[in-house]
């Protein structure tokens, strides 16, 4: 069983992002991390691998700093890692990103002679929560896609997954290869052991450039190839802060608050 896990490096989503004076996201002091949903995808893939056999390849598009994220993946279940590092891909929209991932997956398959049975993605990223890449990628690969997966089984070329819904779940089957997008399952991703961290440091991370991608259509990538073009970024107007109540006791604070709410006729 060969598994590909596509990951994105994003700024730590527990930190608020604001714009610089130039109107660009100010990410200078925010730690880059692997997108939370991608860590769930990797954990699900790792459990699947451990229950059977096979290998996991992690794939990321990004700059030099994204190597660190791939190292982290190598420490928690990934056997191989590749970074698509190409400045001209910056500014790609979801279609562009999906196209690049598709080309990179094909390139890895060509090089290793293996075929991916399952392609995992997080259901969306925490920085731009679009949730488009899984569906787009599956169309480009001509495979099925099961989204919002919380459980998966794989046997004899058939994939059966539990898709979380608002009211429960759907049980969906499709043939491999296929794309799976993962949401938060019942479990948390594992932490790397020191031993695994050390081992991950020694593992190579393959670099993929545009020229390595035999089926690349460059006109689909980068800012120029994007269907979705950004006009501007701005911050939403701040809501004016109201009154803060901090009396001697919780009792007094509560009474004062209720009196104010009654005056405002909100109940």
Partner 1 sequence: MDMTEYKDIVVYIETADKSPVKVGLEMLSPARKIAEKKGGKVRAVLIGDGIRTAAQKAAESGADEVILIESPEYEIFHLDRFANVMESVIKEVKPYAVFVGGTQDGKDLAPKLAARLKTGCASDVMDVKTEDGKTVYTCPLYGGTVLQDVVMETSVPQIAVLRSGAFKKSEETVKGTITEKNIPAADENIRLKIKDVVKEISETVNLEDAQVIVSGGRGMGSRENFELVKQLADLLGGVVGATRPAIEDGWISRVHQVGQSGKIVAPKLYIACGISGATQHVSGIMNSDYIVAINKDEDAPIFEVANIGIVGNAINVLPVMIEEIKKKKEAE
Q: Enumerate residues 192-231 that contact partner 1 by CB under 8 A.
A: 226-231
Name the strand (E) or helix (H) holding 219. none
Q: Enumerate residues 7-36 that contact partner 1 by CB under 8 A.
A: 11, 13-14, 16-19, 25
Pairing assessment for the beta strands 118-122 and 2-7 based on DSSP bridges:
parallel
Asked if residue 165 lies in contact with residue 200, where contact means CB atoms within 8 angstroms, the answer is no
Q: Enumerate residues 55-94 that contact partner 1 by CB under 8 A.
A: 93-94
Count of residues that interact with partner 1, criterion CB under 8 A: 78
CB of 267 vs partner 1, minimal distance in Å: 5
Q: Which is nearer to partner 1, 194 or 266 (CB)?
A: 266
Pairing assessment for the beta strands 158-164 and 32-34 based on DSSP bridges:
unpaired
Q: Which is nearer to partner 1, 50 or 252 (CB)?
A: 252
Q: Enumerate residues 113-172 that contact partner 1 by CB under 8 A.
A: 126-136, 138-140, 143-148, 160, 165-172
| CA–CA distance, 64 with 108 (Å, rounded to integer) | 19
Asked if residue 50 lies in contact with residue 43, where contact means CB atoms within 8 angstroms, the answer is no
Listed ranges 44-52, 62-70, 78-86, 239-247: which one lies at the site for partner 1 (CB under 8 A): 239-247
| CA–CA distance, 135 with 98 (Å, rounded to integer) | 9
Q: Which is nearer to partner 1, 142 or 204 (CB)?
A: 142
Q: Scan for tokens 């991950």, then name that residue.
A: 200
> Backbone phi, then psi, for 222, in 5-degree steps?
70, 180
Q: Which two tokens stand for residue 198?
A: 């050390």
> Which of 51, 199, 215, 245: binder of partner 1 (CB under 8 A)?
245
Listed ranges 49-57, 70-78, 200-208, 259-267: which one lies at the site for partner 1 (CB under 8 A): 259-267
CB of 129 vs partner 1, minimal distance in Å: 6
Q: Which is nearer to partner 1, 149 or 200 (CB)?
A: 149
Nearest to 128 by CA among 29, 41, 17, 236: 17
Residues whose CB is less than 8 angstroms from the CB of residue 229 and which lie 6 or more positions away in sequence, other chains included = 223
Q: Which is nearer to partner 1, 73 or 159 (CB)?
A: 159
Q: Which is nearer to partner 1, 113 or 242 (CB)?
A: 242
């Amino acid at each position: 069983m060969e598994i590909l896990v596509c990951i994105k490096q994003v700024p730590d989503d527990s930190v608020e992002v604001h714009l610089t004076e130039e109107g660009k996201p100010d990410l200078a002091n925010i730690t880059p991390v692997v997108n939370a949903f991608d860590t769930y995808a990797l954990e699900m893939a790792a459990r699947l691998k451990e229950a059977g056999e096979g290998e996991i390849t992690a794939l990321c598009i990004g700059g030099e700093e994204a190597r660190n994220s791939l190292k982290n993946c190598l420490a928690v279940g990934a056997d191989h890692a590749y970074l698509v590092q190409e400045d001209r891909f910056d500014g790609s929209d979801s279609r562009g990103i999906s196209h690049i991932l598709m080309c990179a997956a094909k390139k890895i398959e060509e090089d290793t002679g293996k075929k991916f049975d399952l392609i995992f993605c997080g259901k969306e990223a925490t920085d731009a929560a679009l949730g488009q890449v899984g569906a787009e990628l599956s169309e480009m690969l001509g495979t099925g896609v099961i989204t919002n997966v919380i459980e998966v089984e794989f046997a004899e070329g058939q994939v059966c997954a539990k898709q979380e819904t608002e009211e429960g779940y759907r049980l969906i089957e499709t043939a491999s290869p296929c794309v799976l997008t993962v949401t938060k399952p019942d479990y948390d991703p594992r932490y790397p052991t020191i031993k695994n961290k050390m081992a991950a440091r020694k593992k190579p991370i393959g670099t993929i450039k545009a020229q390595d991608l035999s089926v690349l259509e460059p006109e689909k990538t980068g800012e120029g190839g994007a269907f979705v073009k950004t006009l501007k970024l701005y911050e939403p107007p701040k809501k004016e802060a109201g009154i803060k109540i901090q009396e001697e006791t919780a009792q007094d604070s509560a009474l004062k608050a209720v009196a104010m709410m009654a005056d405002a006729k909100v109940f």
